[in-house]
Amino acid sequence: MNIPNTATTLVARINHDYCVSCGACVPRCPVNAIYELNDNFYIDEYLCEGLCGQESSHPCINVCPVDAIYLTLVYPS
């Protein structure tokens, strides 16, 4: 009997409509998941994987001056 994998992963994402590319989030990420590419910042979801725990303890979210970083659930493919 195959049981579908319904586990989810909590990851941080950047809303590029709000991000001002200040870079404040980069040094605050404890797993170095945030990187810059062509003057935009991105979060490597494989590195992030919600390793910081609950939203209130995500340093990247807390330091963003324009609230461009948010948490989302990622479902297995």
User: What is the Cα–Cα distance from 46 to 44, expressed in whole angstroms?
Assistant: 5
3: which DSSP letter?
P
Q: What pLDDT is stored for residue 77 in this prediction?
A: 65
At residue 11 the predicted structure's pLDDT band, cuts being 50, 70 and 90, is confident
> Which tens digit of pLDDT belongs to each residue from 15-46?
999 999 999 999 999 889 999 999 999 999 88
Mind giving me the DSSP string for 44-70? Answer: -HHHHTTTT-SGGG-HHHHH-TT--EE
**For residues 25 and 67, is the Cβ–Cβ distance under 8 A?**
no
- What is 9-74's CATH topology? Alpha-Beta Plaits (3.30.70)
